[in-house]
Structure 1
Amino acid sequence: VSKILIFLILISMTFSSIMAFDITSFESIDNWIVLQDNATWIGWTNHSGFPVCQTRANLPYPMKRISNIIEDIENYPNVFKRITTAKKLDDNIAYLMLDMPFPFSGRDYIIQFVKDKSETDWVFSFKAVIHVDTPPNERFVRLINASGTWLIKPISNSETAVTYTWNGELLGDFPSWALPKAWKTQGNEIIEWLGEALNE
């Protein structure tokens, strides 16, 4: 009986979510504080006690090419340069490690992701979970509330509107006064690196 109980606990730990917060319904979020308003729009707002950030841009590529890059998680280190490790733990669960500027510790997180495609858009959303194969690493700050959503909508056959919304919480020793600058940098990097990958 005890072995069965232990097994059930481990299974529960593997797939249990550690957060109630997610931003899959981000389109209802308003009151954005604008950090940048040009070809790449970036803003943030406080939502359910978390700093929710968003970056938007129109890219001159078809929706399918963009979605292929976003859903290829294990190739993220070759696209998004701050991601040093990205590996799938299960079909819809992945582990990622982020490099941070000196002197801050790196960040890591485990996410469960969902893809949803319709005739008018493509959505890739994720939120943090616990997985028994990746216990906390003392060299990294675990982002236990990680959450995000990619929304891509075709403007034409060769142009696509891309919106990425994420929980900007960095935890650890990152100073709160520096967060808006970090969010702006991240928003620009995401669009820039995605564009570079599409241009290859």
Structure 2
Amino acid sequence: MNKKHIVLAALLSVTSLVASAAEAPKLSLHRNNIKVWTYQTENNPVFQYKAETTFDVPLERAVAVVLDVERTPQWVPYVAKAQLLSRDEKKGEFTLYMLLDFPFPLKDRDVVIKGKMIKNADGSITIKNSTVKNNYPEQPDVIRLTQYTGDWTFQRLANNRVKVMTSGYADPAGSIPLSFVNMFVQQQPYQMLIKMKKEIYNPLYAQPHLPDLLK
């Protein structure tokens, strides 16, 4: 089984069959303290996912991993490049560029994302990501994605324990064989959280620095 095929299917939660009605989230995978649900909505035929797990680290350390954009390729499967284009810590906003490595013969994809950091009333932290129009140069033979959302929520369970939840979907554009999609759509968030579990103990995040609005 080609791992790139799994990521191709799941990283972007690719379109499969148009659902005639909204589907309730289905628990597709529960392993290694990670749960992944997949579902479709009535107004969006693109497969969507949500996933959750817990880490035995402070909330701030988990958030710092996700906000460290340049290291995203180290733990998000098959992200070839991630570049921070702008960040306004006072407003809690940032813009980033990602290049996604798709297996031959499919074309690679890229996306420009607008992010928003939020400190919620209950002390949890949410990061909301979605596509944004941007003049970042388009590359030959790379398809620019225009429909994507991907959110993170971090909930403190104890001083050294955090619940991490992530959800998202994307329209991958172009023609994607359905054989890459249905069976493996839950694998990307699972693999991502498995890799995050290792990244989170990187000494880089021993003393995490977060924007003031998240403190």
Aligned partner of 1:68 in structure 2 is 64
In 2, Cα distance between equivalents of 1:183 and 1:62? 30
User: Higher relative CO (CA 8 A, sep ≥ 6), structure 1 or 2?
Assistant: 2
How do residues 49-198 of structure 1 correspond to structure 2 at under 5 angstroms? 49=44, 50-91=46-87, 92-118=94-120, 119-132=122-135, 134-198=136-200
AA partner of residue 100 (structure 1): F
Aligned partner of 1:31 in structure 2 is 24
SS of residue paired to 1:194? helix
Of Structure 1 and Structure 2, the greater helix share is in 1
Aligned partner of 1:40 in structure 2 is 34
What displacement does 1:34 show? 2.2
TM-score by length of structure 1 reads 0.77
In 2, Cα distance between equivalents of 1:77 and 1:57? 20
SS of residue paired to 2:113? strand
Cα RMSD of the aligned pairs, angstroms, is 2.0
AA partner of residue 198 (structure 2): E
In 1, Cα distance between equivalents of 2:143 and 2:27? 28
SS of residue paired to 1:146? strand
AA partner of residue 185 (structure 2): W
In 1, Cα distance between equivalents of 2:195 and 2:111? 21
What displacement does 1:169 show? 3.2
What displacement does 1:53 show? 1.0
Percent of matched pairs sharing the same residue: 16
Aligned partner of 2:211 in structure 1 is none
In 2, Cα distance between equivalents of 1:168 and 1:110? 12
In 1, Cα distance between equivalents of 2:156 and 2:182? 29
Determine if contact 1:168/1:183 at 8 Å carries over to the other structure. no
Number of aligned pairs?
A: 171
Bigger shift: residues 33-42 or 190-199: 33-42
What displacement does 1:81 show? 4.0
SS of residue paired to 1:199? coil
Closer/same/farther in 2, CA of residues 66 and 135 from structure 1, 3 Å limit: same
Determine if contact 1:40/1:188 at 8 Å carries over to the other structure. yes
What displacement does 1:168 show? 4.3
Q: Which runs of 4+ in 1 moved over 3 A?
A: none
Deviations along 1:67-89, one digit per CA (max 9) or x if unpaired, are 00111112212232411111122
AA partner of residue 193 (structure 1): K
User: Can you give the 5+ residue segments of structure 2 that lack an aligned partner in the other structure?
Assistant: 1-21, 88-93, 203-215
User: Can you give the 5+ residue segments of structure 1 that lack an aligned partner in the other structure?
Assistant: 1-28
Deviations along 1:102-152, one digit per CA (max 9) or x if unpaired, are 3332221000000001342110111101111x2332322222101110011
